[in-house]
Amino acid sequence: MICPDAPVLLEIRDLQAAVDDQPILKGVNLTIRAGEIHAVMGRNGSGKSTLSKVLAGHPAYTVTGGSVHYRGNDLLDLAPEQRARIGLFLGFQYPVEIPGVSNLEFLRVATNARRSEGGLEELDTFAFEDLVRERLEVVKMDPAFLERSVNEGFSGGEKKRNEILQMALLEPLVAILDETDSGLDIDALRIVAGGVNQLASPENATLLITHYQRLLDLITPDYVHVMAAGRILRSGGRELALELERTGYDWVDQELERFAAEGQQTGRAPLEVG
């Protein structure tokens, strides 16, 4: 839902980041307002997943330039847990298995961390069980998964459902879903996409990171951005995703070459193909 007057939730300006001294993000600009659904597409290695990890505060990535503001406040200053508590959520491409930590306990501790930040009362075991059973409906998940260790032995589809269940419990204002569609069969994809659609509201925003159009058939984005070589190369409406589906990413290479040539003429640093 595009609403130009809605408050800005996330403002990314010239964001640059590196991992092991290797620059990956080379100046990302993106503004996300409440109510909007954005999709970032691009080839492997274009920097999509790095963008999501940097926003969530992964310690392996170093921000080397630029800024990110979340509801007007500097996001990059905050520890990962603090970012989550104030309403930023990262749905992992590969959710981590944690043997021995009960999924139910994990969900309860996470939910209460978010609630207490928002000034809400923490939920005891019983109240939380009521809540979690209600939210299980969002992703049609079997309650038996609550009794198991976090993601341990879950199939790919079950892990992604568990991610959306966490999103349903944490009620983030900005949800970044990193390749939530990868490894899902069509039924699981429908359930996961249905969950995301149910949770979208005029107050929150979603950033989908994906390779494929197929997720965007089920979740309609307001904006589509194409990333290459650590920058957003082009932005548009959902028609851009359809165009990509039709033409592939070859034009991206041509555009990068054109940028490189322009860079040489103007003396600006050329874009590198990552």
Partner 1 sequence: MVAVVPATPYAGAAGGASASATAAWLASLAGAPLPNRRQEDWRFTDPAALTGIDPQLIGLADPLAAQALPDGLECLSPAAASPWLGQALAATTSLKHWPVLLNAGASAGAAAAQPTSLLALRVSGAAGRLQLPLDAGDQPGLARFRLLLVVEAGAQLELLLQPSSGGVNAISLVSEVILEPGAELTLGSLAIGAAGSCLLQHTAVVQAPGSRFEHVTVSAGWALARQEPRILQRQGGACTRLRALQVCCDRQLADTHSWVCFDGPDGELDQLHKAVADDQGRSVFNGAVRVPRAAQGTRAAQLSRSLLLSDRARIDTKPELEIVADDVKCAHGATVSRLQAEELFYLQSRGIAADQAAQLLQRAFCAEVLRDLPAGAAALRPLHRLLGEG
Query: Which lies closer to partner 1 via its Cβ, residue 159 or residue 231?
Result: 159
User: Does residue 36 sit in helix, strand or coil?
Assistant: coil
CB of 242 to partner 1, least distance (A): 32
CB of 258 to partner 1, least distance (A): 38
CB of 42 to partner 1, least distance (A): 22
Q: What are the residues binding partner 1 (CB under 8 A)?
A: 56-60, 79-81, 83-85, 90, 92, 95-96, 98-101, 105-106, 109-110, 113-114, 117, 149, 166, 170
Strands 231-236, 223-228: pairing is: antiparallel
Query: Which lies closer to partner 1 via its Cβ, residue 147 or residue 239?
Result: 147
The whole-angstrom distance between residue 207's C-alpha and the CA centroid of its chain comes to 5
At 63, list the tokens.
Answer: 């921000």
CB of 78 to partner 1, least distance (A): 11
At 260, list the tokens.
Answer: 């490189």
**Residue 217, burial from CB neighbour count under 10 angstroms (0-12, 13-18, 19+):** middle
Query: Which lies closer to partner 1 via its Cβ, residue 73 or residue 264?
Result: 73
Query: Which lies closer to partner 1 via its Cβ, residue 95 or residue 274?
Result: 95
CB of 171 to partner 1, least distance (A): 12
Query: Which lies closer to partner 1 via its Cβ, residue 175 or residue 252?
Result: 175
The CA-to-CA distance between both ends of the chain, in Å, stands at 32
How many CB atoms are located within 10 Å of the residue 2 CB? 11
CB of 27 to partner 1, least distance (A): 25
Query: Which lies closer to partner 1 via its Cβ, residue 30 or residue 176?
Result: 176
Q: Rounded to 5 degrees, what angle do the CA atoms 80, 84, 88 make?
A: 110
At 166, list the tokens.
Answer: 């966490």
Q: Report the chain's C-alpha Rg in angstroms.
A: 19
